[in-house]
């Protein structure tokens, strides 16, 4: 996030797109509702479903999955043609405007209405509200990124903030909500194939020298494979061994049969986890780790706030905290690792990662710190890009449009989109075993528009088969008016309705994120 | 009873709360009233999401698959030895880049850092990622 969660309350316009905030980020969702109810903020919601936030929205739009890009371009077109652009901001803080301007002219609201089904007048109205706001914040999540145009979608939202100057000041900016509790931290720590910890470049001499002092001269500093590519290579024999820590790709990754094929094919699969997950069942060796309740460490939340995690219980049985397992394993390979507490690891991170330079356990004792925090006397950073962007001038990206890779057909006439519910977390390993949560949502379900349900001859709560070109699963039908006709919705929390048996492996060409939000399916009643 | 201040492990909001522990059991949750995100509130996962910790399905010992294809309990020493032998062999034969590492958005910063270090510094592999994209 470029802003802090607290700042959302001060925004006078909040534009939520591709984020079911009250379910995935409940306390941020609550902040948005507060901004509307207490401060009279205007809320714009765009989603394939009528989500809870829709009930508080000034303008609420049902988008067909896979048409975000056209929709955002339509808003940008209106801003250009109606003279709503912030010329002063564009002149002093951005570059590439003229080229961008030319590219967006063809996306007239009328044309976009054809592509998305959203009325041209609504698109114009949204553009005006957003551009004229004193402080406008954009909030988005996986609904924007899990598409073949994921990167282009994100850039289009950046264009929107740049053209109106709604960025780099209090309560305005572009705020991606990171899904799982520590996605931000995992990225910060370099659990990515193309950067070192702290997003430091693999090609920079100074950086490599610095790391060599702690990691030894010969550490690998090339660009590696993404998860999606690793799974593909596992199936094709390029990857011989996989070490999986606290992940469950069989349920979380697209096209599970393909993932299973890869896991079966490797010579060695090491799984470090707290439960016998669907993935662990394929392992050759399983190392029992500890949950966040049984260990010390830090998590970094979606607004870059690094906070302490504290051990409240001993690990169960002979299980060990994951940091200890890794420390002992590194030693077993004959390398030095003298960490006796996660604090020692943070000391090393302080020295190697500039943005975490001043984030020490002593300072985290009572409250968290937001990075960048380069030194121990630095107070942390509430919002990014205040006076300039990290790359200097903000760059406009020419507008493009590309539809979703997978489209409906006669055989598969419905568009399936995926998401989550508030009571469960990811593949449900923990929450499905927490009784008070599981009783609320005990089984896999599929939301179908009531009219579509009627046409299919399906009753509310009856069992249905959901079939895609990759596979088929069963689920309970939930008929509702909150979803667009022709679109159906499922979550991936449930091992007995594993929705990723259906999803496809089409990837965004830039960051290789899979198109999890769009897949064509057919629905049949089960007798 | 002891109260342990910690960060919720369920979503990117990062709410803080106290876990109330009595005789080695979680008996309740108290939100931190002055926390900048949660401000004394929590969602249902924060209030109720700890039941799994002592669930009977928890893995309690290292497991190694035997010749018959079944999991067998092992000591930590045996498990480490198994992993080190196999991975070293594979690295020797096919190079570090034949090994892939999946890190976790559920694990701590320190743990993510160490897995990156294990991959890049110890096993000479560039292939490290996690499911940020999923
Ligand atoms: S209590 Fe709920 S909103 Fe807060 S961090 Fe946990 S899961 Fe997220």
- Give φ, ψ of A71 to 5 degrees: -60, -50
pLDDT at residue A109 in the model: 93
Q: Which CATH number characterizes residue A168's domain?
A: 3.40.228.10
The number of domains in chain A is 4
Whose CA is closest to B109, among A355, A61, A74, A419?
A355
Report chain B residues whose CB lies below 8 A from the CB of A247.
102-104, 130-131
N- to C-terminal Cα distance for chain B? Answer: 39
Same domain? For A125 and A218 the reply is: no
> In this structure, is residue A312 part of a structural domain?
yes
Same domain? For A138 and A213 the reply is: no
Report chain B residues whose CB lies below 8 A from the CB of A181.
7-12, 14, 105-106
CB A481 within 8 A of CB A49: no
pLDDT at residue A302 in the model: 86
Q: Distances from the Cα of A299 to the Cαs of A185, B11, B13, in angstroms?
A: 6, 10, 11
CB A72 within 8 A of CB A15: no
Could you read off the pLDDT of B18-38 as tens digits, one per residue? 999 998 888 889 998 888 888
Q: Which ligand 1 atom is the nearest neighbour of the CA of B13?
A: 5
Q: How far is CA A390 from the centre of its chain?
A: 22
At A369, is the secondary structure helix, strand, or coil? Answer: strand
At A162, is the secondary structure helix, strand, or coil? Answer: helix
Tokens found for residue B91: 């690295």
**Under-50 pLDDT residues of chain B:** none
Instruction: State the CATH class of domain B2-54.
Output: mainly beta
Report chain A residues whose CB lies below 8 A from the CB of B126.
193, 220-225
Rounded Cα gap, residues A249 and A334, in angstroms: 30
Same domain? For A344 and A242 the reply is: no
Report chain A residues whose CB lies below 8 A from the CB of B134.
146, 227, 252-253, 514, 516
Task: Mutation target for B interface from A34, A213, A231, A240: give the one with most B CBs within 10 A.
Answer: A240
> In this structure, is residue A229 part of a structural domain?
yes
Tokens found for residue A376: 């121990």
Q: Which residues contact A197 (CB under 8 A, 6 or more apart)?
A: A188, A189, A190, A349, A352, A353, B113, B116
pTM here? 0.81
Tokens found for residue A390: 């990290």
Residue in B with minimal Cα distance to A335: B122
Question: What are the mean pLDDT values of chain A's consecutive 10-residue runs (527 residues total)?
Answer: 76 89 85 89 90 90 85 92 89 86 89 90 93 89 73 86 84 79 90 92 91 90 90 91 89 77 92 91 94 94 92 94 96 93 96 94 89 89 64 76 78 84 66 69 82 90 87 88 88 71 71 71 84
CB contact under 8 A, B90 and A241: yes
pLDDT at residue B122 in the model: 95
Rounded Cα gap, residues A94 and A72, in angstroms: 19
Q: Distances from the Cα of A136 to the Cαs of A132, A139, A298, A394, in angstroms?
A: 9, 10, 31, 17
Residue in A with minimal Cα distance to B3: A312
CB A108 within 8 A of CB A79: no
Same domain? For A357 and A333 the reply is: yes
Does residue B39 have its Cβ closer than 6 Å to ligand 1? Answer: no
Rounded Cα gap, residues A308 and B93, in angstroms: 41
Neighbours of A234 (CB within 10 A): 25
Cis peptide before A372 (omega within 30 of 0): yes
Residue in B with minimal Cα distance to A500: B134
Q: Which CATH number characterizes residue A490's domain?
A: 2.40.40.20
pLDDT at residue A428 in the model: 64
pLDDT at residue A429 in the model: 67
Q: Which of residues 66-105 of B touch A (CB under 8 A)?
A: 71, 74, 76, 79-84, 86-88, 90, 93-94, 96-105
The whole domain housing A485 covers 414-525
> In this structure, is residue A388 part of a structural domain?
no
Tokens found for residue A507: 């990837």
CB contact under 8 A, A190 and B113: yes
CB A153 within 8 A of CB A69: yes
Pocket probe for ligand 1: among B8, B40, B41, the residue whose CB has the most ligand atoms within 8 Å is: B8
Does residue B14 have its Cβ closer than 6 Å to ligand 1? Answer: yes
DSSP state of A63: P
Does residue B123 have its Cβ closer than 6 Å to ligand 1? Answer: no
Q: Where are the domains of chain B?
A: 2-54, 59-94, 96-134
Domain final residue pick, A177, A202, A236: A177
Domain final residue pick, A177, A209, A237: A177
Same domain? For A73 and A161 the reply is: yes
> In this structure, is residue A385 part of a structural domain?
no
CB A464 within 8 A of CB A477: yes
CB contact under 8 A, A253 and B41: no
The three-state DSSP-derived secondary structure of B30-99 is EECCCCCCCCCCCCHHHHHCCHHHHCCCECCCCEEECCCCCEEECCHHHHHHHHHHHHHHHHHHHCHHHE
Contacts 24+ apart (CB under 8 A), A382-391: A382/A3, A382/A4, A382/A7, A383/A2, A383/A3, A383/A4, A383/A7, A383/A168, A383/A170, A383/A173, A384/A2, A384/A168, A384/A173, A385/A2, A385/A167, A385/A168, A385/A173, A386/A168, A386/A169, A387/A168, A388/A93, A389/A93, A389/A168
pLDDT at residue A423 in the model: 64
Rounded Cα gap, residues A231 and A238, in angstroms: 10
Shortest distance, CA A325 to any CA of chain B (angstroms): 9
Task: Mutation target for A interface from B1, B17, B36, B59: give the one with most A CBs within 10 A.
Answer: B59
pLDDT at residue A391 in the model: 57
CB contact under 8 A, B53 and A313: yes
Tokens found for residue A127: 């553009």
Does residue B13 have its Cβ closer than 6 Å to ligand 1? Answer: yes
Rounded Cα gap, residues A140 and A199, in angstroms: 22
CB contact under 8 A, B128 and A191: yes
């Amino acid at each position: 996030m470029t802003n802090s969660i607290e700042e959302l309350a001060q925004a006078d316009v909040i534009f939520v797109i591709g984020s079911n905030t009250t379910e995935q980020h409940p306390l941020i969702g609550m902040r948005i509702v507060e901004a509307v109810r207490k401060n009279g903020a205007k809320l714009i919601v765009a989603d394939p479903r009528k989500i809870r936030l829709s009930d508080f929205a000034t303008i609420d739009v049902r988008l067909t999955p896979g048409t975000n890009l056209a929709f955002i371009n339509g808003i940008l077109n209106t801003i250009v043609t109606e003279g709503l652009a912030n010329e002063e901001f564009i002149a002093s803080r951005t570059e590439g405007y003229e080229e961008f301007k030319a590219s967006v002219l063809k996306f007239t609201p009328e044309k976009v209405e054809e592509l998305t089904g959203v009325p041209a007048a609504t698109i114009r109205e949204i553009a005006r509200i957003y551009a004229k706001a004193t402080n406008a914040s954009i909030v988005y999540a996986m609904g924007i990124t899990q598409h073949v145009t994921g990167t282009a979608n994100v850039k289009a939202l950046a264009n929107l903030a740049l053209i109106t100057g709604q960025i780099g000041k209090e309560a305005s900016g572009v705020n991606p909500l990171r899904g799982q509790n520590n996605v931000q931290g995992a990225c910060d720590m370099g659990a990515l194939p193309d950067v070192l910890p702290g997003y430091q470049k693999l090609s920079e001499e100074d950086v490599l020298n610095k790391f060599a002092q702690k990691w030894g001269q010969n550490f690998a500093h090339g660009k590696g494979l993404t998860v999606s590519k690793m799974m593909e290579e596992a199936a094709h024999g390029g990857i011989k061994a996989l070490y999986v820590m606290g992940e469950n790709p069989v349920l979380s990754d697209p096209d599970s049969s393909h993932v299973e094929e890869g896991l079966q094919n490797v010579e060695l699969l090491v799984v470090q986890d707290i439960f016998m997950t669907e993935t662990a069942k394929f392992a050759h060796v399983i190392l029992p780790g500890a949950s966040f309740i049984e260990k010390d460490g830090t998590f970094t939340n979606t607004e870059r706030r690094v906070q302490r995690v504290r051990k409240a219980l001993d690990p169960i049985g002979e299980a060990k905290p994951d940091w200890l397992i890794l420390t002992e394993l590194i030693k077993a390979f004959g390398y030095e690792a003298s960490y006796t507490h996660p604090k020692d690891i943070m000391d090393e991170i302080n020295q190697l990662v500039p943005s975490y330079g001043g984030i020490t356990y002593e300072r985290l004792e009572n409250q968290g710190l937001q990075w960048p925090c380069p030194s121990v006397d630095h107070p942390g950073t509430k919002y990014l890009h205040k006076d300039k962007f990290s790359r200097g001038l903000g760059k406009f990206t020419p507008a493009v449009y590309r539809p979703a890779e997978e489209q409906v057909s006669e055989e598969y006439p419905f568009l399936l989109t995926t998401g989550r519910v508030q009571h469960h977390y990811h593949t449900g390993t923990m929450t499905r075993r927490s009784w008070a949560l599981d009783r609320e949502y005990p089984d896999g379900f599929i939301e179908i528009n009531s009219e579509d349900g009627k046409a299919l001859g399906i009753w509310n709560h009856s069992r249905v088969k959901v079939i895609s070109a990759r596979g088929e699963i069963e689920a309970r039908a939930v008929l509702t008016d909150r979803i667009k006709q022709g679109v159906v919705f499922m979550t991936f929390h449930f091992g007995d309705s594993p929705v990723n048996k259906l999803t496809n492996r089409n990837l965004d060409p830039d960051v290789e994120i899979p198109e999890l939000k769009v897949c064509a399916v057919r629905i049949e009643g089960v007798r | 009873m002891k109260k342990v201040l910690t960060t919720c492990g369920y979503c990117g909001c990062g709410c803080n709360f106290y876990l109330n522990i009595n005789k080695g059991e979680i008996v309740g949750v108290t939100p931190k009233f002055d926390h900048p995100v949660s401000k004394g509130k929590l969602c249902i996962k924060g209030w109720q999401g700890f039941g799994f910790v002592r669930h009977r399905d928890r893995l309690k010992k290292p497991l190694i698959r035997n010749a018959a294809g079944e999991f067998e309990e092992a000591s930590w020493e045996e498990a480490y030895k198994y992993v080190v032998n196999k991975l070293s062999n594979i690295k020797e034969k096919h190079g570090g880049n034949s090994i892939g590492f999946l890190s976790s958005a559920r694990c701590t910063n320190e743990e993510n850092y160490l897995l990156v270090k294990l991959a890049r510094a110890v096993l000479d592999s560039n292939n490290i990622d996690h499911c940020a994209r999923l």
